[in-house]
Amino acid sequence: MADKMLILENGRVFYGGGFGSQKTRIAEIVFNTAMVGYQEILSDPSYFGQIVIMSYPLIGNYGLADDDYESKNIYLSGFVVREYNDNPSNFRFTMSLGNIMEDYDVAGIQDLDTRELVRIIRDEGSMKAMITDASRPYEECLKELRAAKLEENPVKLISTKKVWYSRTRNPAFNVIAVDLGIKTNILRLLNKYGCNVAIVPHNTSKEDIMRLKPDGLLISSGPGGPELLTEAAALIKSVKGEIPVLGTGLGCQLVALAYGAKVAKRKTGHHGCNIPVRDLKTNAIEITDQNHCYDVDVESLKAAGLELTHVNLIDGSAEGIADYANNVLGVQFYPESAALPENGVYVLDTFINMMKKAGGNGNAQKNRY
């Protein structure tokens, strides 16, 4: 039954069946090319305030499992799918997709042509969209949609307000993670690599961070663009050369800005877990997981003193940058998803080696949080 409608800012309208929340939702609409992982997408803070179209047709068929969330909340505004399955078959599932969306006010719409929608976004770029009740007058909804203002600095809404910790046994390193929308999986992997991690607010000062005696600094991924995150960019600039820095996603873009390179919003962004990237140092090709709407300008890197380390094989955009002399790395993809059999999660390996090189050899034992 077509009880919901999806209206795009360009005036196109699609009708379908509703699931999840019955509330009207307005947000930027993007598409994701992943075939699995809708639970991780729902709980990825980088999707805060967005409506996501899934290009893979069948969604919901394995439900949601308690151990697979990427954060403690659900951040999407809306979910657009071809076929929603409300009868999960996975023995691990604890909740259906529709139920969790209802709990967190995420509106869903199904039974529409997601192939056509993906082509529209691909060709015209991301835009505002609305999911609402199909009985509402179209002109009224379109006027409301076009007048809506989206959040300009979503990081300030989702970043932690207080310091919290992710600890491990017998730690070798203290890592401070600046929370712009951090995912739990990278914390688990840092713990596995022998790191105690303190997660701090997005606007934490250098002085407060140095009191925690860091061996390394992680600038996390997150939603939106980097321009308004002036405190985080200033932090990177002030600590480079003192402690190793790793920026992922939004954090990578902030590394670029801190060095004076240029960052601009993409037409469609990179959203998916099947995006090919070439490591220019090893010539290896990795299939990466990404979620960002902004790119680092390749031409601006050299003048900023940054080396291009990774490129996107589809469009040639920058996927990795580095200042090895000052132990600074940035990657546009999620490093926890880019693993090579011979050396594990190689971006984190590089970060760990940088901390060792910088003298971080046991501070976590002597200076526990």
| Domain harbouring 10, CATH code | 3.50.30.20
Q: Which range is least confidently modeled, 168-177, 214-223, 283-292, 301-310? A: 283-292
Structure tokens at 216: 């390394």
CB-CB contact of 201 with 160 (8 Å): yes
* Mean pLDDT of the 98-109 span: 96
Q: Are residues 316 and 186 in the same domain?
A: yes
Q: Are residues 222 and 137 in the same domain?
A: no
Q: Which range is least confidently modeled, 75-89, 135-149, 201-215, 337-351? A: 337-351
* Residue entry with tokens 């990825």: 44
Q: Are residues 272 and 237 in the same domain?
A: yes
- 330 pLDDT more than 90: yes
Q: Are residues 243 and 353 in the same domain?
A: yes
- 366 pLDDT more than 60: no
**3-class SS at 236?**
helix
* Mean pLDDT of the 351-361 span: 86
Q: Are residues 189 and 224 in the same domain?
A: yes
Confidence of residue 345 (pLDDT cuts 50, 70, 90): low
Confidence of residue 341 (pLDDT cuts 50, 70, 90): very low
The CA distance from 148 to 146, in Å, is 6
Q: Are residues 210 and 312 in the same domain?
A: yes
Q: What is the pLDDT of residue 227?
A: 95
Phi, then psi, of 245 in degrees rounded to 5: -130, 135
Confidence of residue 343 (pLDDT cuts 50, 70, 90): very low
Confidence of residue 358 (pLDDT cuts 50, 70, 90): confident
Confidence of residue 344 (pLDDT cuts 50, 70, 90): very low
Share of the chain above pLDDT 90, in %: 88
**Which of 122, 147, 172 is the last residue in one of the domains?**
147
Q: What is the pLDDT of residue 314?
A: 93
Q: Are residues 232 and 326 in the same domain?
A: yes
List the one residue out of 138, 139, 132, 137 whose CA is nearest residue 4. 132
Number of domains in the chain: 2
User: What is the residue range of 259's domain?
Assistant: 155-366
Mean pLDDT for all residues in the chain: 93
In one-letter notation, the amino acid at residue 138 is Y
**Which of 103, 120, 147 is the last residue in one of the domains?**
147
- 93 pLDDT more than 90: yes
Element (H, E) at 103: helix 97-103
- 367 pLDDT more than 70: no
Q: Are residues 182 and 245 in the same domain?
A: yes
Q: Are residues 127 and 247 in the same domain?
A: no
Each residue's pLDDT tens digit, 40-69: 999 999 999 999 999 999 999 999 999 999
The CA distance from 30 to 355, in Å, is 37
Q: What is the pLDDT of residue 362?
A: 52
* Mean pLDDT of the 336-349 span: 66
Q: Are residues 248 and 189 in the same domain?
A: yes
Q: Which CATH number goes with the domain that contains 195?
A: 3.40.50.880
Q: Are residues 110 and 232 in the same domain?
A: no
Integer-rounded Cα radius of gyration of the chain? 21
* Mean pLDDT of the 245-258 span: 98
CB-CB contact of 244 with 217 (8 Å): yes
Q: Are residues 75 and 106 in the same domain?
A: yes
Q: What is the pLDDT of residue 359?
A: 80
- What sign has the CA pseudo-torsion 209, 213, 218, 223? negative
Confidence of residue 361 (pLDDT cuts 50, 70, 90): low
* pTM of the predicted structure, to 2 decimals: 0.93
Q: What is the pLDDT of residue 338?
A: 58
**Which of 147, 176, 209 is the last residue in one of the domains?**
147
Q: What is the pLDDT of residue 218?
A: 98
The CA distance from 9 to 171, in Å, is 51
- 365 pLDDT more than 60: no
Each residue's pLDDT tens digit, 152-201: 999 999 999 999 999 999 999 999 999 999 999 999 999 999 999 999 99
- 368 pLDDT more than 80: no
